[in-house]
């Protein structure tokens, strides 16, 4: 069968460097770090005392008090980003067939804040089990997609994908397939995460996964620098409106970009570490290229997973060289996690948005915090777009996300041409 073409017609973002898409994009181009001391809980005794938190987010700016109490923060974040994306897409809800509009999100952890609070309240209580009637619905990871559908009346496919830090990229790929196969006209997709809690920070601290640069949080996320010592946890949400091309054209929608292809793979190697030779990353990128019917030379920019971990950065850089060959040295590469931190299950969504805007605006956001300290295991002939955004024609961009468990996902976006 002839697969339908899929385009992006709306964007929404709630991130540590900006609470709307324009603010997010401006901050990326300016090289702004979203890292700051943790205020969500008292982190004084933790090895890591900082994260990339949202700035100025107040639930009651978006929800009435009664409603806000029913939703975990991750669901709130998803709803807010979805509202912006839907408004940006200028959908006429009176004209749309809501049976053919779906919601597919990526959620890595879900309502960990609610889970932690309810269990701690019970453990410190008088022994009588007392739980909120909203405990389960706040905790479960599928609730965000359900709430978005309830708010807007969307009755199309509705579910959540979980593949750790690749969750929202996996969700976007799944949403693309729903439209390609004719099962929906429009899918609201992306991801959300609110992992900055005592158990979230403590758990990753025990794995030695987080940076402990407490004296300088804003420089802690430093992908591809020799002095990197782990990732910086982030929170927020990103949402995209994906639309079948003919449907978008019929309603005169603006089109940011077209989806080129998607790929996925497994490292089948380790609980948390990337394959040292980047085998899973290579497979995921190659499958996305094959799906897009594109060659390596068609890619201009790679938004890398680039978490600022000792092993992960080395293996991803090696994978790019192995797959792209000489063209690897003609690419721009950058890790926007150097600014936003690592949004876990939502990382792929905001990084896909960054890739789309790079294609639309012909500019590549930087990898910040590189101070010239080179790792002998990384080839610095690659253009990591260190410290300053670079203008160049970006006809196609590739975005990588890799999750614990060795689950990898890649998305390619390209300029829309009729």
The answer to whether 342 is a known catalytic residue is yes
The answer to whether 305 is a known catalytic residue is yes
Angstrom distance (rounded) from CA 127 to CA 142: 30
The answer to whether 165 is a known catalytic residue is yes
Q: Which of 161, 239, 342, 352 is flagged as catalytic?
A: 342
Q: Which of 52, 165, 239, 352 is flagged as catalytic?
A: 165
Q: Which of 161, 275, 305, 352 is flagged as catalytic?
A: 305
- Active site positions, annotated: 165, 305, 342
């Amino acid at each position: 069968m002839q697969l339908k073409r899929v385009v992006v017609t709306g964007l929404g973002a709630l991130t540590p460097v900006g609470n709307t898409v324009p603010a997010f994009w401006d901050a990326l181009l300016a090289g702004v770090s979203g890292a700051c001391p943790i205020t969500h809980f008292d982190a004084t005794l933790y090895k890591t005392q900082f994260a990339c938190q949202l700035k100025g987010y107040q639930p009651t700016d978006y929800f009435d008090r009664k409603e806000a109490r029913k939703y975990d923060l991750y669901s709130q974040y998803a709803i807010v980003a979805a509202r912006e994306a839907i408004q940006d897409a200028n959908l006429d809800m009176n004209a749309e067939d809501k049976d053919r509009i779906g919601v597919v999100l990526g959620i890595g952890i879900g309502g960990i804040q609610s889970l932690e609070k309810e269990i701690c309240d019970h453990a410190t209580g008088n022994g009588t089990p007392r739980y909120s009637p909203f405990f389960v619905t706040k905790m479960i990871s599928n609730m965000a997609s359900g709430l978005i559908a309830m708010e807007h009346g969307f009755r199309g496919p509705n579910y959540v994908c979980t593949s750790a830090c690749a969750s929202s990229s996996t969700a976007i790929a799944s949403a693309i397939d729903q439209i390609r196969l004719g099962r929906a006209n429009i899918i609201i997709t992306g991801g959300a995460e609110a992992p900055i809690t005592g158990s979230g920070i403590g758990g990753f601290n025990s794995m030695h996964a987080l940076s402990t640069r407490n004296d300088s949080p804003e420089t802690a996320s430093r992908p591809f620098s020799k002095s990197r010592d782990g990732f910086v946890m982030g929170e927020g949400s990103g949402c995209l409106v994906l639309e079948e091309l003919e449907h978008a054209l019929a309603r005169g929608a603006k089109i940011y970009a077209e989806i080129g292809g998607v790929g996925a793979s497994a490292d089948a190697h380790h609980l948390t570490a990337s394959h040292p030779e980047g085998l899973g990353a290579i497979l995921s990128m190659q499958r996305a290229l094959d799906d897009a019917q594109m060659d390596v030379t068609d890619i201009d920019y790679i938004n890398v997973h680039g978490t600022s971990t000792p092993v992960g950065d080395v293996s991803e850089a090696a994978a790019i060289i192995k797959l792209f060959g000489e063209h690897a040295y003609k690419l721009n590469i950058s890790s926007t996690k150097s600014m936003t931190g690592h949004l876990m299950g939502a990382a792929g969504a905001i990084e896909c948005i960054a890739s789309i805007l790079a294609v639309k605006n012909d500019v590549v956001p930087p990898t910040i915090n590189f101070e010239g300290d080179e790792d002998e295991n990384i080839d610095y002939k690659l253009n990591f777009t260190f410290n300053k955004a670079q203008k160049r024609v970006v006809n196609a961009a590739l975005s990588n996300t890799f999750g614990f468990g060795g689950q990898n996902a890649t998305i390619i976006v390209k300029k829309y041409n009729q």
